[in-house]
Amino acid sequence: MKSAKIVGLGKYLPPKILTNLDLEKRVDTTDEWITTRTGIKSRHIVENNTPVSVLAKEASLIALKRAGIKPKDLDLIIVATITPDTQFPSTACYLQDYLKAKKACCFDVSAACAGFVYALTCAWQFLKTGFYKNALIVGGEVLTSITDWEDRSTCVLFGDGAGAAVLVPTGKDGILSSYLGADGSEADLLILPGGGSRNPVSARVVEERLNYIKMRGNELFRIAVRIMVEAAKKSLRMAKLTSKSVKLLIPHQANIRIINAVAKRLELEGKTYINIDRYGNMSSASSAIALCEAWEEKKIKKDDIIVLDAFGGGLVWGSCVIKWI
């Protein structure tokens, strides 16, 4: 076997919708500011502290059904998330238990908004070497659990959701290339400072609101555009293709202005999947849900070349080229 292909996709969005008008009542913001600066109109959010594993389970059940693979036959479960149910056990372990996928080995990937691309690349490697016969990967987040509802510059951006993909080995095509990167020297640009071993939970952490996302959006914006363009070009070069062959670009959904700038520089305007208006930024879940939704809307057909392209806190980034089979 030389590669791996996706044989099932699923997504789950919690039913409650939070609109920009709802946010106008919570913080000093307007629908107009949010729409023009970010492209977001609404986002889905969990209620009653629903953990990310529950969203992951719903998305996974759909993906497994579409793939025709029974949970008991799964070899590998990877969950990409920065909002795990608990620091440990991993969310993948909770998911394994829900699914009764007793045979599967399980781990989480922490690569923020590039998490799904990182997880996809890990699964691809396990499958192309013949180490495993199938894999379930999930990008899932409950970002509202780490959102500071008193910070208007971040609380308008994020949403909750999960997307899942089932992969099996294949002799040709499927995933053609992957390019992953990171730059830890810029960690402070987008960070959850509290709750880990650097700043364990304490009264001070809570008082200083370090248990919430901190972001220097303006600085990130410029880096995001440059790196996402570079990453897509690199993964296409690795696949010996150019953007002319691409049917659909599926970029991380952080900001419509970033998406448009990346699409323009790659000459893929009109071939770019966008759903940020309905969901906001869901970190690792954004790419997973966008891929699933594009497929459900029949925007992906056999033999199409599609490019996933993501960037996030770490900094981390990744791009995968897939020939759909």
Ligand X SMILES: CC(C)(COP(=O)(O)OP(=O)(O)OC[C@H]1O[C@@H](n2cnc3c(N)ncnc32)[C@H](O)[C@@H]1OP(=O)(O)O)[C@@H](O)C(=O)NCCC(=O)NCCS
Binding site for ligand X (CB under 6 A): 29, 33-34, 37-38, 113, 152-153, 156, 190, 217-218, 220-221, 224, 254-255, 258, 281, 311-312
Check residue 189 and report its DSSP letter: G
In the bound state with ligand X, the residue whose beta carbon lies nearer, of 41 and 152, is 152
In the bound state with ligand X, the residue whose beta carbon lies nearer, of 151 and 304, is 151
C-alpha closest to that of 181 among 254, 114, 258, 253: 114
In the bound state with ligand X, the residue whose beta carbon lies nearer, of 174 and 314, is 314
In the bound state with ligand X, the residue whose beta carbon lies nearer, of 174 and 318, is 318
Active-site entry in 44, 93, 106, 113: 113
Q: Which residues of 239-277 are buried (b: 16+ CB within 10 A; e: fewer)?
A: bebebeebbbbbbbbbbbebbbbbbebbebeebbbbbbe
Least separation in angstroms between residue 153's CB and ligand X is: 4
Least separation in angstroms between residue 107's CB and ligand X is: 23
Least separation in angstroms between residue 319's CB and ligand X is: 14
Say whether 20 is catalytic.
Answer: no
- In sequence order, the 6+-apart residues with CB closer than 8 A to the CB of 275 are 253, 289, 290, 293
Say whether 252 is catalytic.
Answer: yes
Least separation in angstroms between residue 225's CB and ligand X is: 9
- Distance of alpha carbon 292 from the chain centroid: 11
CB 246 within 8 Å of CB 267 = no
Other CB atoms within 10 Å distance of the CB of residue 125: 15
Active-site entry in 93, 106, 122, 252: 252
Say whether 113 is catalytic.
Answer: yes
In the bound state with ligand X, the residue whose beta carbon lies nearer, of 77 and 225, is 225
Phi-psi region at 167: left, alpha or beta (left = phi > 0; alpha = psi -120 to 50): beta
Other CB atoms within 10 Å distance of the CB of residue 52: 28
H or E element, residue 48: none
Least separation in angstroms between residue 118's CB and ligand X is: 14
- In sequence order, the 6+-apart residues with CB closer than 8 A to the CB of 182 are 314, 315, 316, 317
Active-site entry in 122, 281, 292, 320: 281
Q: Which residue is nearest to ligand X (CB)?
A: 217
Residues with active-site annotation = 113, 252, 281
